[in-house]
Structure formats: C-alpha cells, structure tokens
Chains A and B, each alone.
Chain A
Amino acid sequence: MGDFSRPTTESVERSLDSTLESVDHAEDLAVGLARRAGFDEENLMKIGLAVRESMVNAVVHGNRYNTNKKVRFSASMSGSRFTVRVADEGEGFDYVNLPDPLTPENLLRTSGRGIFLIRSFMDDFHARRLEPGGTEVTLVKFAVSK
C-alpha cells in the first residue's frame, strides 16, 4: 500500500469554479497530498481517479457548469485516514438507487460507471444532501503499511 513511516497530518481546502480545469486541479491537490502521506503509485492512481469522478459529478451533474456555483473541495490526511470531500450546489443526486453497471443490460451503457469506480477504489464512500441545496460526497482511503 505504501510507506507510512512518517506520521502525517496535512489538509487542503479550496472553493473551485465549476469547470473541467477545477477537476484537474482537485485531482492534482489530492494526489499530491496522498503522495506526501506515503501512498504507493497503485493507490495514488485509485485515489486520483476517484477524486476525478467525484469532481466531474459535482461540476457536470451537480452544478451543470454554472459559473455562479462553486465546488467545495477538501482533502486531509490524519493518522491513517485519508479523506476527500467534494460538495456541489446542485439539485441533489440519488446515490442510492443507481443502476448496477455490471449487469448484462447495463454493460454497454455509455455512462453510469463513475460512482461504481469510486466505490471500487476507495475504502469508504458516502453522500449526503446539503441544505438549502447540493450534495456532499466523502471518500476515505486508509493507509496500511507494507
């Protein structure tokens, strides 16, 4: 999983525009922090892709590229817990009743794999509705020494 010999406590928080550039920026911030925390390349790839998919959901499906809406992004490493939060200002999204992308009838769909990949690559994932509007997702990856 990586080299976690150095105790790490670090965090970053940003308010980002609803653009694809913000997706790249958030991924870079999260992967940079995770790298400094000691995650190996395999897990950096998983973390990076999970953050990218979460940011795409916030920018594209949540805020719908609305320039007046922001995406709140934070990443932190505390003890053995790496946590990323992404919050949009959209109409809300049903993360519970999602079609299973692995079933034969959904296998050739051109979308609907983002959340599946996030769940596959992170140790914990959950979403909550925000008041007055929006959705916040939380992604967690635990550091486990070699």
Chain B
Amino acid sequence: MSVKLSTRQVGDVSVVDVAGRITLGEGSSALREALRDMVSKNQKKILLNLGDVSYIDSSGIGELVSGFTSVTNSGGQLKLLNLNKRVKDLLQITKLYTVFDVHDDEAHAIRSFT
C-alpha cells in the first residue's frame, strides 16, 4: 500500500493522519475514498495531517483540491496540518497554499474550526 490513512476524533474534529505517497493509483484513490466516506457521514470538520507524506504528485494535489471542494460544498471545513517542505513547495508553486487553511500546530488547528 503506497499510503496509510488513520482517522481519529479530537472533539468534533476528524483528524486524518496520512502517511506515504499520494500519487496516481492507490494513494490518490485511498485519499479520495476516505474523504468521500467522511462527507457521506456528514463530518463537517476535517483536518488532514500530511506530516508523514513522503511524496505527492499532480494527481495527489488534485485529490486535495477535490476533497477541499466537496467538503466545502457540503458546508464543512477541510484544513491541512504539518506540511513538509516538499508538499509546501508544491502548494506554493501551484498557488494553492493560500486556498487551504494550513497549520503547523495541531492544537491550534483544532481550535481554528468554527
């Protein structure tokens, strides 16, 4: 498996710890399914912890955007936590860094949900 997703609940926020590669194939599909499942269960506050993501490609970036859009359209919020340099650089170069609400501290990120 190229990516591992673990979900935990912190108050009313669903934190998804993502580890591994979010690339075309298993990685991006797993992320898509996880987010789709959370939206279908009406979870409105989702924090994606990308601290252990070793690799992301344009397909993975597309899944982040897709997840952001579907969560937002369902009235929820999707935020990002712990971007490493590689992921941060890619989001900056694609001008998506300012689209997402990005945090470095989990407790602060949890409190930021309204």
Hey, which bits of chain A sit against chain B, CB under 8 A?
20, 23, 45, 49, 52-53, 56, 60, 101-102, 107-111, 113-114, 116-117, 120
Which of B57, B63, B68, B86 meets A53, CB within 8 Å? B57
Taking a contact as CB atoms under 8 Å apart, the answer to whether A110 and B65 are in contact is yes
SS class, residues of chain B in contact with chain A: helix
Known: A23-B24, A101-B94. A53 touches B65 (CB 8 A): no
Known: A45-B86, A56-B24. A102 touches B95 (CB 8 A): yes
Closest CB-CB distance, A101 to chain B, in whole Å?
6
Inter-chain contacts of B42 with A (CB < 8 A):
none
Taking a contact as CB atoms under 8 Å apart, the answer to whether A102 and B94 are in contact is yes
Known: A20-B24, A117-B93, A120-B93. A56 touches B69 (CB 8 A): no
Interface digits, B63-90 against A, CB 8 Å rule (1 contact, 0 not)?
1011011000000000000000010001
- Within the assembled complex, what's the spacing in Å between the Cα atoms of A120 and B90? 10
Inter-chain contacts of B58 with A (CB < 8 A):
53, 56, 111, 113-114, 117
SS class, residues of chain A in contact with chain B: helix
Known: A20-B24, A23-B24, A45-B86. A113 touches B95 (CB 8 A): no
Taking a contact as CB atoms under 8 Å apart, the answer to whether A109 and B65 are in contact is yes
Closest 7 CB pairs of A and B: A110-B62, A113-B58, A114-B58, A110-B66, A20-B25, A102-B95, A111-B62
Inter-chain contacts of A116 with B (CB < 8 A):
94
Tell me the residues in window 13-46 of chain B with beta carbons closer than 8 Å to chain A beta carbons: 23-25
- The number of chain B residues touching the other chain, given as a range, is 20 to 34
- Within the assembled complex, what's the spacing in Å between the Cα atoms of A52 and B86? 15
Inter-chain contacts of A110 with B (CB < 8 A):
62-63, 65-66, 69
Taking a contact as CB atoms under 8 Å apart, the answer to whether B59 and A56 are in contact is yes
- Within the assembled complex, what's the spacing in Å between the Cα atoms of A54 and B86? 19
Taking a contact as CB atoms under 8 Å apart, the answer to whether A49 and B24 are in contact is no
Q: Which residue of B lies closest to A53 (CB)?
A: B58
Inter-chain contacts of A23 with B (CB < 8 A):
24
16 example contacts (A-B, Cβ-Cβ < 8 A) are as follows A20-B25, A45-B86, A52-B23, A52-B57, A53-B57, A56-B57, A56-B58, A108-B69, A109-B62, A110-B62, A111-B58, A113-B61, A113-B62, A113-B94, A114-B57, A120-B93
- Within the assembled complex, what's the spacing in Å between the Cα atoms of A27 and B114? 42
